[in-house]
Structures are given as C-alpha cells and as structure tokens.
Amino acid sequence: MTEPAAGTQKPSIPPLLARWIRRPVFWGLLFIAWYALLYYLSSGPVTVRTGWTIPHADKIIHFLYFAGGGTGLHLLLRFHPRSRELALWKRIAIVTLTIALLGWLDEWHQSTTAQRNGNDIYDWTADVLGGLCSVVIARPIGRFIERKTAPLDTDTDATS
C-alpha cells in the first residue's frame, strides 16, 4: 500500500476514541449524561437576558439539544448487536418516541420547578422534531465511524 500524498490524507479518529466509539456502552453513557444535563438545566430558574434577542430562541435550543440526544440514541442502536439489524424506520420510531417521552417528562419537570414554566406544547414539539431530525445527523456519523474504525469482535464485545 502506498501512503496518501501530503494534504490528501483522510481524517482519522484518535486511537483511544476509535477503541470505544463502536461500543454501545459508550453511546449509552453519553445518552445518560445528555439526559442528566437536561435534568440539571431544567431544575433551575431561566436566565433572562436583556438586549437583542432571537425570536423563539428557546425553541431553537430545544430542537438542537434534543437532536443531539436523538443522535446519541440512534448511534447506540446502530452499534448495539441486538438492534443493529432493525430496519431504519424502526430505529427512527424508537428514537422519536423515546425523545418525545423524555421531552414530555422534561416539560412536566419544569412545571413542578419553582420559577419555571412547563407543559409548553411548542417546546415539546421542538423536542420531538429534534429527535426526528436526528437521523439526518446520526446516519453520516455512523457511516464515518464504520469507515474509520475496525469492527468489534462480536464474541467478546456483545455485552458491551
């Protein structure tokens, strides 16, 4: 094999990350951390900023945050041996329904938190749409990971 010419080398994944990135436990822990951060952020008062603001910025933030969580869940399902063979539409349904449920729980949690307003249908809609659109993010990331890392030995890593 010949080495690629300087400047044309494909991006690579650092070895330590490459060792873990195909493991479902990696994506599972990342998803749990995502939800823990969501709970923490929902537990405090809203910081009100004065001056120039973007209309409906909170909906944009909800969409992007839940798209990130949905991406982590998609990748967990993609690399888990038991769900790897699921049809794409089933993975999308699982992720969308899970994100919808977690979004609803977040809205309910906010409604029980002092100095917060919860049960906002528009926030929840942004959450669900973020989860639904996460497939657009997760599929190319999953393909990139599969191209750049070696497959795991399924006999030893099936429980990971």
Instruction: Tell me the pLDDT tens digit for each residue of 131-149.
Output: 999 999 999 999 999 998 8
Identify which of 119, 122, 126 has the alpha carbon closest to the alpha carbon of residue 104.
119
Query: Per-residue pLDDT averaged across 79-105, rounded?
Result: 95
Best CA proximity match to 140, nearest among 95, 75, 91: 75
Q: What is the mean pLDDT of residues 35-52?
A: 84
- For residue 13, being part of any structural domain is answered with no
What pTM, to 2 d.p., does this model score? 0.83
| Residue 19 belongs to some domain of the structure | no
* DSSP SS3 for 119: coil
Q: Are 30 and 68 in contact (CB under 8 A)?
A: no
Q: What is the tally of structural domains in the chain?
A: 1
Residue 74 clears pLDDT 80, i.e. is over it: yes
- 6 domain-assigned: no
Residue 155 has pLDDT above 60, yes or no: no
Domain that holds residue 76: 24-42+56-152
| CA 6, chain centre distance (Å) | 34
Q: What is the pLDDT of residues 11-34, one digit of tens each?
A: 578 888 888 999 999 999 999 999
Q: Is residue 15 part of a domain?
A: no
Position 14 in a domain: no
